[in-house]
Each structure stands twice: as C-alpha cells, then as structure tokens.
Homo-oligomer: A and B are copies of this chain.
Amino acid sequence: MILEHVVLDIRPGQEPAFEEAFAVARPLIMSAQGWRSVRLERCVEQPSRYLLLVEWETLADHLDGFRTSAAYEEWRQLLHHFYDPPPVVEHFELVTAS
C-alpha cells in the first residue's frame, strides 16, 4: 500500500468552488486501477490549505496508471487552476499504525 500525500494551497476565496469541483472530480480517482481510499482535509490554522491523502495499491497504480490516463486529464482540468503554488506530490509507505 502506498499513501499519496499532497498539501494543496487554494487561491484565497476559492475554497467553496474548490470543494465543489473536488466532489465532481472524486469519482475519477475512485475508478482508477489500484485506488484504495481518498481523503480531503482542511487546515484549521490556514483555511486556504487542504490535505489530500490517497491510498494506492502500488506506486505504479498512481504514476503509470492514473497519472497517464484520460481521467487524470479531466481531474487536472477540474482542479489544478485552484492551486497556488503548484503542489508537491510525495508518496509514503507505512512504518507503524495504531
């Protein structure tokens, strides 16, 4: 299992529109091969900041699968114009959980 981790800074004032667009985009990722879960969280201290956490079966499911798909192109067009600056995507592997 791989955790995709992205901190998203949204253009101030566009938070409601971003959340609406995310609701439209969400099924695109949920139908991808190897998708396991998706979670969007909003920052308490900086309300224009969001945290996107996506669990994938493998790293390739995200990078070689979803990111090269037509669905990703649609995802990108729905969401990327809200981001400032462009976000950094990183992947994590579980060490321990309780």
Contact = CB atoms under 8 A, between A and B. Distances in A.
Contact of A45 (B30, B50, B90): B90
Given A3-B41, A5-B51, A46 B90 contact: yes
Contact of A92 (B5, B23, B26, B44): B44
Can you tell how many copies of this chain the complex includes? 2
A57 interface: no
Interface string A2-20: 1101000000000000010
18 contacts: A22-B96, A23-B96, A26-B96, A30-B98, A38-B98, A39-B97, A40-B95, A40-B97, A41-B95, A42-B92, A42-B93, A43-B91, A43-B92, A44-B59, A44-B90, A44-B93, A45-B91, A50-B92
